Structure 1
Amino acid sequence: MIRALIVDDEEPGRVNLRYALSEHPGWNVVQECAGVASAQAALAGQAVEVVFLDIHMPGDSGLVLARALAAMPEPPIVIFVTAHERFALEAFEVHALDYLLKPVNDARLGAALARAAAMLDLRQRPVYGAALRAWADDEQASRGGAAPAFWQQLTVRSVGTIECVQLADVDWIEASGNYVNLHLAGRSVMHRLALSRLLPHLDPASFLRVHRSAVARIDQAARLDVAGDGVYQLTLRRGARLPVSERHVEAVRAAMDAR
């Protein structure tokens, strides 16, 4: 049985979620809490694998509990239950965290439960903790009025797994619709995030856009060639060849000269 804790200040929300979970064999709600303090007391007295956490609660918000859980070496999987605005939902998606919108949709609940169970089966809690901490750090910075620091890693979720990809290991990034393809030494990783959303979070001292569909790590740039009339090509140290738009060629030259 997967032991779950529900944290929501509204009793109807707790009851509805408990009844919805009762339709899924293998899930056991061990306790329901109306606030952060009672949830912390419950977690101190028993281990749980999954926490369903409301964000907006009087007193301490759910973010307080999320940050505390993020500090644990192997935190429980957190599924946020929220009526948050769109930008906050995007933040969850960027860090590969699951959320449910109120009122909870049965199909989305089932998908979230399946992902959580798969991560538990594959012993993903330590790497999940890194993803939760990255999200908590960004949230704390933005709520304090500070601009979040440039990202050092990307949290990539596939079926049942989470991988924290260090941006220092990425040679170049390729746009692919609503995804980006992260090219590392000897492999590539698809991540569900549009390049336009990723760009503001990349350190311009490390990454440079060379084409509408490509971003290169500056220290990987080896050679810039003219491939034709107004056509340029950047060769990276590991051999990849990237198209360079005419509008970006001077910036590429300047970045290479400045190293």
Structure 2
Amino acid sequence: MLRVLAVDDEKPLLEELLYLLRSDPRVRSAEGASDATEALRRITRALETGPDGADGIDVVFLDIHMAGLTGLDIARLLAGFAQPPLIVFVTAHEGFAVQAFDLKAVDYVLKPVRPERLAEAVRRACAQLGRAAEPPPGGGAPYTPAPYTLAPHTPAAPGPGAARPAPRQAPRTTAETAAAERGPDQIAVELGGVVRFVAIADIAYVEAQGDYARLHTDDGSHLVRIPLSTLEERWAARGFVRIHRRHLVALARIDELRLDAGTTSVRVGSAELQVSRRHARDLRDLLMRQATG
């Protein structure tokens, strides 16, 4: 079984990758690092203790674009060691495949990561390490990708008077497709390839996480690939108000408004959320109008 380190400086994507890796029975442990410095510290410790040590790492699932050192830089550093961990690149960019395989990468997985594609990368790592590579849960044959082609495709120029093709649109995710087909009272969330529908009325508040948003309900939280500003616009009529650059709150779910030494916060269930100065007055007015009907 594999001991894995996943490295990505986008926290929501790192959490999703770790969820998928930990769901694979061939992975004994999966830890995360959110930057190159932390990744190198953990890998160095693993190399010092040896492959059989308590901190050993078999495979590093490595993003390429990160602040500071890139994933390629890390792979080049590791290539100088006698027994480095295997490398699987996980990236949104196709253009680094040649460099990745020149660095002896086991696999090159494109984002957004599909569970069956990640399972194939795990299988390849197991095979290279000479370990059993049983199929992932659900049975069936392992996923076999089409050969990776590096030659660019150059379309023929349109003839005179021919209509130019419409620009290609980015493909929808499974959750985005499901959301478009579902009614407006629910939002589709996707985790590990499974789509669930969450009632908007069950959402207490929303937390910004880069280009993603985390929906907090009484039962837990769900990550969606929608910016907070978009949800603010869509859900204003449903009673959601912006209280901070990081938080959107359902007005009806606010239990307390607290004023303390010039700062304002709200309690939503067990969570206490800061209210920015620019939003504090409008929020107090809204709560007063709500209380007085």
TM range, normalised to the smaller chain?
0.3 to 0.5
- Judging by fraction of residues, say which structure has more strand: 1
